[in-house]
Amino acid sequence: MKQAALLLFGLVAGIAIGAGAVPGLRAQPATGGGAYVVAEMHVTDPAGFIDYERHEAATLAAYRGRVLTRALPDVREGAPANGVVAILGFASAQDANRWYNSPDYARLIPLRQKSAASRVYILQGIH
């Protein structure tokens, strides 16, 4: 009987502690998950675009970036992409933005724009 009373007391105490703690729970701000630069590019000057690709890779390392894929997409639904799609991965949106706005990459943007019609955007990764 004494053991049953102790178990009941422990159960009631656990419920009371849990009930008191639940209102204090808050969603934590997102801090991880990385970020992606996505570019859709309709290449109009293949030689110029190859030159752009060769130089682009050297600008990524300082910002913890890397090319995840660059290919013609296999579209399953909707309108086809207007050319090659590239996805670059970064540890954070801050790194992606610092890379895009860096002097090294800024020098390459005119080369990309001259050799391809582009649409470029940054996506925050899932946390």
For residue 96, give both structure tokens. 């992606």
- Write the pLDDT tens digit of every residue in 42-71: 999 999 999 999 999 999 999 999 999 999
For 8-47, the pLDDT digits (tens) are: 344 333 444 444 444 543 433 445 689 999 999 999 999 9
Cα distance between residue 43 and residue 105, in whole Å: 19
| Residue 72 φ/ψ region, left for φ over 0, alpha for ψ in the -120 to 50 degree band, beta for the rest | beta
